[in-house]
Amino acid sequence: MDRKTAESLLRGSVPGHPLADLLSAAKAPATDRELAGEAAAMAAFRVAAHSPDTAITRRNPMLKLLSLKVAAAAFATTATVGGVALAASTGTIPNPIFASSSAKPSHSKASPSVSPHSKPSSAHPKPSGSASGSPSPKRLADLCKEFDGRDSDGRRRALDDDHFGDLVRKAGKKDRVERFCFDFGKPRPSGSVKPSYSGKPQVSFSARPGENGGGDNGGGEQPGGGDWDNEGK
Amino acid sequence: MLAPEELDAVVRAAQTGDENAFRQLYRLQQPVLLRYLRVLVDEDAEDVASEAWLQIARDLHSFRGDGDGFRGWTATIARHRAMDLLRAQRRRPQPAGPADEYLKEIRADDDTADRALELVTTDAALALIATLPQEMAEAVMLRVVVGLDAKSTGKILGRRPGAVRTAAYRGLRLLAQRAAVTHFPVPALKEMR
């Protein structure tokens, strides 16, 4: 096979070549099965479209600066020295979190914004008796929802967490949980699928820096936003 | 298949929150990403694709580029999520096993003859491509199925366009040899059209 033929095959235009059939099979029209995740993807899109985060273009350097400043201010107000001065200097930032607290910095008000990673599990106390007996589908759905919402590290940790014990038992094995939730989620109504972004803390400005800094996104695609020139590593 | 300018417009519309546009993007790009992922992570492809779509939906508003850029961007995201999974499982991309066995399984699973035929051919092709060394398999998939040029493919794989071309050519050559010795259902393919 010469380079020219190879290049034409890659571009998809060598009728009659022994490989032409194989390659066109590889790019045959989609089957329904391949599009089974459409409802989930659409739900994610709706969540993203309506989230306050998305309305703010992270690309805007002023906003980035602003969010850093807010995060710094939040940190400073929880620290013992210099908190008042810094918080006062940010008093003009039109941010809902600080609208009330900037004039009179208060530790209790500022602190939630520096811990965006508060465990969601604490919000859902375990129903008593869930360890024995069979967990309800609702409970499993909730656990799956929570599980799916975590990043890959979070999911690994979840497998060792008692909180997800029901889920692991129901799935049979730890490494089957992901698949179990995926299958479990299929017939779910579109509104409740893959909640990870709805589960984000509401405090969007201050949650950002922490999230990006501690994220485990191994790849470079996130901080750069969408400019995929920066993405291929 | 959309013309390039049409795709540009659909991407822009989706970025402004147009649901139908996003649906169109999904239908266009999901099969492509899924097939690419099948070659990388085999049976985990559907899960990884779902994860990739969550991220695509979330980050689309900050994506900058045209329709071609969108193809490359989504493929990059899919690849990164696949690599996350492989890292987590401490494994390397694995060939999907002998294409013959794969075929038998699928035939046994499916009851509708037409559907089986359709699935077998695409699946068989992917299974055969997955038997190639990873760099060749990825180069072939990104160029043929995802539809990227050598430059964009190189960007995703972190290699020069020349190296990508060579990998893709070698991949095709090896595929041709393997297709000849595997019982690849070429007659079935012809009937399909």
Q: Could you tell me the CA-to-CA distances from B183 to A210, B98, B116, B132 in Å, in that order?
A: 54, 11, 17, 16
Task: State which of A112-116, A149-153, B86-90 shows the largest mean pLDDT.
Answer: B86-90
For residue A127, the model assigns a pLDDT of 46
Q: Burial letters for B153-192: b for 16+ Cβ neighbours within 10 Å, e otherwise? A: bbbbbebeeebbbbbbbbbbebbbebbeebebbeebbeeb
Confidence of residue B92 (pLDDT cuts 50, 70, 90): low
The average pLDDT across B101-126 equals 56
Say if residue B155's pLDDT is above 70: yes
Q: Of the given ranges (A97-106, B130-139, B169-178), which has the lowest mean pLDDT?
A: A97-106
Handedness of CA A218, B14, A191, A198 (dihedral sign): positive
Q: Above 70 in pLDDT, residue B172? A: yes
Nearest 5 degrees, angle CA A15-CA B173-CA B91?
120
- How far apart are the CA of B126 and the nearest CA of chain A, in angstroms? 6
Is there a contact between A152 and B88 if contact means CB atoms under 8 Å apart? yes
Higher pLDDT, A180 or B182: A180
DSSP string spanning chain B?
Answer: ---HHHHHHHHHHHHTT-HHHHHHHHHHHHHHHHHHHHHHHGGGHHHHHHHHHHHHHHHGGG--S-HHHHHHHHHHHHHHHHHHHHHHTT--------HHHHHHHHHHH---HHHHHHHHHHHHHHHHHHTS-HHHHHHHIIIIIS---HHHHHHHHTS-HHHHHHHHHHHHHHHHHHHHHTT--HHHHHHH-
Asked if pLDDT for residue B65 goes beyond 90, the answer is: yes
**Which residues does chain A have within 8 Å of residue B87's beta carbon, measured at their own beta carbons?**
218
pLDDT band at A111 (very low <50, low <70, confident <90, very high): very low
How many Cβ atoms from other residues are within 10 Å of residue A5's Cβ? 14
Chain A environment of B35 (Cβ under 8 Å): 26-27, 34
Write the CATH number of the domain with boundaries B99-192: 1.10.10.10
Alpha carbon separation from A86 to A77, A96, A105 (Å, rounded): 8, 17, 10
The predicted pLDDT at position B16 comes to 93
- Helix (H) or strand (E) holding A171, with range, is helix A165-171
Angle at B173 between CA B167 and CA B177, to 5 degrees: 140
Q: Which of A104, A114, A101 is nearest to A74 (CA)?
A: A114
Instruction: Collect all residues of chain A within an 8 Å Cβ-Cβ radius of residue B153.
Output: none
- Chain-centroid distance of CA A101 in Å reads 29
pLDDT tens-digit readout, A14-31: 888 888 888 989 999 999
**Long-range residue pairs from B119-124, CB within 8 A, at least 24 positions apart, any chain:** B119/A31, B119/A33, B120/B185, B120/B188, B121/A25, B121/A28, B121/B185, B121/B188, B121/B189, B121/B192, B122/A25, B122/A26, B122/A28, B122/A31, B122/B35, B124/A25, B124/B99, B124/B184, B124/B185
Q: Can you read off the two tokens belonging to residue B113?
A: 């003859």
Query: Are B142 and B36 within 8 A, CB to CB?
Result: yes
Min CA distance, A180 vs chain B (Å)? 11
Angle at B117 between CA B111 and CA B122, to 5 degrees: 120
Q: Kindly report the average pLDDT of chain A as a whole number.
A: 63
User: Average pLDDT for residues A65-86, to the nearest whole number?
Assistant: 52
Topology alike, domains B4-88 and B99-192: no
Q: How large is the average pLDDT for residues A36-48?
A: 94
A48-52, A70-74, A167-171: range with lowest mean pLDDT: A70-74
Q: What's the CA gap between A185 and A145, in Å, rounded?
A: 8
Answer with the residue of higher pLDDT: A3 or B32.
B32
Per-residue pLDDT for A54 more than 70? no
The reply to whether residue B23 touches residue A38, judged by beta carbons under 8 angstroms, is: yes
Least confident of A74-78, A92-96, A182-186: A92-96
Answer yes or no: is the ipTM higher than 0.85. no
Q: Do B158 and A231 touch (CB under 8 A)?
A: no
Q: Chain A neighbours among B 77-106 (CB < 8 Å)?
A: 77, 79-81, 83-85, 87-88
Amino acid type, A57: T
Return the higher-pLDDT residue of A178 and A43: A43
The distance of A100 to chain B (nearest Cα, Å) reads: 30
Categorize the per-residue pLDDT at A107 as very low, low, confident or very high, splitting at 50, 70 and 90: very low
DSSP notation for B77-122: HHHHHHHHHHHHTT--------HHHHHHHHHHH---HHHHHHHHHH
* CB-CB neighbors (< 8 A) of B115 in chain A: 31
Query: For residue B185, is pLDDT > 60?
Result: no
B128 touches chain A (CB under 8 A): yes
pTM of the model: 0.56
Percent of chain A scoring above 70 in pLDDT: 44
pLDDT level of residue A164 (50, 70, 90 thresholds): confident
Is A129 a residue whose pLDDT tops 80? no
The whole-number average pLDDT for the span A56-60 is 46
CATH fold for domain B4-88 = Rna Polymerase Sigma Factor; Chain: A (1.10.1740)
The residue among A129 and B68 whose pLDDT is bigger is: B68
CB proximity B23 to A under 8 Å: yes
pLDDT at residue B88 greater than cutoff 60: yes
In the predicted model, what is the mean pLDDT of residues A62-79? 55
Q: Where are the domains of chain B?
A: 4-88, 99-192
Predicted local distance difference test score (pLDDT) of residue A77: 53
Residue A6, min C-alpha distance to chain B (Å):
6
pLDDT at A179: 78
User: Which tokens sit at B41?
Assistant: 């992570």
Cβ under 8 Å to A: B residues 134-173: 140-141, 143-145, 147, 154-158, 165, 168-169, 172-173
Domain boundaries, chain A: 120-192
Report the gap between the CA of A232 and the closest CA in chain B (Å): 4
